[in-house]
Amino acid sequence: MPIQNILRVFCIGALALFLNSALAQESQTSVKGPKIQLVENNYDFGTVTQGPAVKHTFKFKNVGTDTLRIEQVKTSCGCTAAESSKIIAPQGEGQIDVTFNTANQMGRVSKTVFIYSNDVEAQQRSLTIHGTVEAKKVEVKTK
C-alpha cells in the first residue's frame, strides 16, 4: 500500500506541475486584446556627414489576440518623418519606417517617434533614433 500512495502522490504532483507550466507559458505568449511587441526601440546610426537622410525600419509584432491598430505616429521635430503599418492581425508583423533629415543638424542628436495604438497595456510607445552629425566638409578653391 505505501508504494501505491507514493506513486499516486508523485503522479498528481507531476500533473499539477505540467498544468502550471502550460498555463504560465500560455499567459506569456498571448495577451487578451491587441499587444505591440517591438523588436527594438532604439537605433544608433553612428556618425554621419551632414546632408543625406538617415533611414531605419523598426519592426514589431502583434502578440495579442485581437487586431492591433496604429492610430497615429508622431515625431519630435520636423526633421524626422515616420510611416507605419496601420492594421496588424493577431500574430502579424508590421513596421515603422523612420527618416531623419541631417541637413540642418550638427553634433550629437536624438529624435523620438511616438506610436499611438489600441494596445491594451500601453497605448503610447516611443522609439529613438540617435547618433552624431558632422559638418559637411567645404573645399576652398585657391586661385
pLDDT value of position 26: 45
Q: Which residues contact 118 (CB under 8 A, 6 or more apart)?
A: 33, 34, 68, 69, 71
Residue 143 lies in a domain: no
d(CA 85, CA 108): 29
Eight-class DSSP state of 136: P
**Number of domain units in the chain:** 2
d(CA 79, CA 109): 11
Domain interval for residue 119: 36-134
CATH number at residue 74: 2.60.40.10
If residue 87 lies in a helix (H) or strand (E), which one and from where to where? strand 87-88
pLDDT at 4 over 80: no
From the CB of residue 64, how many other CB atoms can be counted at a distance below 10 Å? 22
Q: What is the pLDDT of residues 26-75, one digit of tens each?
A: 444 567 999 999 999 999 999 999 999 999 999 999 999 999 999 999 99
The answer on 51 and 92 residing in a single domain is yes
pLDDT at 142 over 90: no
| pTM value surpassing 0.85 | no
The answer on 4 and 70 residing in a single domain is no
The answer on 60 and 11 residing in a single domain is no
Higher-confidence residue of 35 and 19: namely 35
pLDDT value of position 129: 97
